Amino acid sequence: EDQVTQSPEALRLQEGESSSLNCSYTVSGLRGLFWYRQDPGKGPEFLFTLYSAGEEKEKERLKATLTKKESFLHITAPKPEDSATYLCALGEDSNYQLIWGAGTKLIIKP
Amino acid sequence: ETGVTQTPRHLVMGMTNKKSLKCEQHLGHNAMYWYKQSAKKPLELMFVYSLEERVENNSVPSRFSPECPNSSHLFLHLHTLQPEDSALYLCASSQASGGGELFFGEGSRLTVL
């Protein structure tokens, strides 16, 4: 059964303290691994798509990487405005539905 | 207006009421979705429409009834809901069904008393 697990559930960092969020997955055939950001009271906002192991994508202080079993969202020198819940979602190649993780709540203290 | 807009943003209803959630997308997309988001749970896909035809209904109780009159508008009709239906209801759109790049609205926060 296809599955997505995100860890940690919550992460508190000081401003400038780099870290990584994890998205572990099991899938029979990967169509894509997707990262979203969700601010309180708002809908998720698309960040990245990763299609194959070894692929990396970057946007400002965020960098997403993919292996055959997990994806990492690395955040470098974060700022308070990076505080949000980060969601990953798995696309399986024989099913157009996405399988969502429960998210990691990231809090950056000034 | 741009993107995906949802109304109302907040809704409180009793278990015997009938209400509707509305979603409109201004992106020219062909697929629209209803998701349910509960605290600390993954997003739950409820309905998918592609070119105004319903292509997926994830075993959602009949007290939720979707309607897609055209590719830009999506409704979720609610009747005789239960308190456990209280959640954030998110509408999304994508270029085609099966796309991973979804554009979400800000959601309708529903409270059932």
Is the CB of B43 inside 8 Å of chain A's CB atoms? yes
B103 touches chain A (CB under 8 A): yes
Give me the half-sphere count of Cα atoms (radius 13 Å) on the Cβ side of residue A54.
0
Highest mean pLDDT range out of A96-100, B16-20, B23-27? B23-27
Distance of CA B2 to the CA centre of its chain: 18
Q: Using a CB-CB distance cutoff of 8 angstroms, which residues of chain A are in contact with residue B4?
A: 43
**So what's the pLDDT on residue A28?**
87
Q: What average pLDDT score do residues B77-82 get?
A: 94
Of B48, B98, B106, the CB nearest to A43: B106
Q: Is the pLDDT of residue B42 over 80?
A: yes
Cross-chain Cβ contact A100/B42 below 8 Å: yes
In angstroms, the CA A88 to CA B42 distance is 10
Cα A28 off chain centre by: 20
CA distance B40 to chain A (A): 6
Q: How crowded is residue B46: how many other Cβ atoms within 10 Å of its Cβ?
A: 20
Minimum distance, in Å, between the CA of residue A80 and any CA atom of chain B:
21
CB A46 to CB B4 under 8 A?
no
A98 contacts B100? CB cut-off 8 A:
yes
For the segment B10-25, the average pLDDT, to the nearest whole number, is 93
CA atoms of B32 and B61, how far apart (whole Å): 19
Amino acid at site B7: T
CA pair distance B21, B110, nearest whole angstrom: 10
A45-53: list long-range contacts, CB under 8 Å, 24+ apart: A45/B104, A46/B101, A46/B102, A46/B103, A47/A86, A49/B100, A49/B101
Asked if A101's CB is within 8 angstroms of B100's CB, the reply is no
Q: What does the pLDDT profile of chain A (110 residues) look like in tens digits? A: 778 999 999 999 999 999 999 999 998 888 999 999 999 989 999 999 999 999 999 999 999 999 999 999 999 999 999 999 999 999 988 777 899 999 999 999 99
A4 touches chain B (CB under 8 A): yes
Hey, are the CB atoms on A101 and B40 less than 8 Å from each other? no
For residue A62, which of A50, B18, A51, A53 has the smallest C-alpha distance? Answer: A50
pLDDT higher at A94 or B26: B26
Q: Is A102–B102 a contact, with Cβ atoms under 8 angstroms apart?
A: no
Select the residue of B56, B91, B101 nearest A46 (Cβ to Cβ): B101
- Residues in Cβ contact with A108 at an 8 Å cutoff, skipping those fewer than 6 apart: A13, A14, A15, A78, A79, A80, A81, A82, A83
Does the structure show a pLDDT above 70 at B65? yes
Q: Which residues of B touch A44 (CB under 8 A)?
A: 43, 90, 102, 104
Task: Quote the pLDDT of residue A8.
Answer: 97
On the question of pLDDT at B1 being above 70, the answer is: no
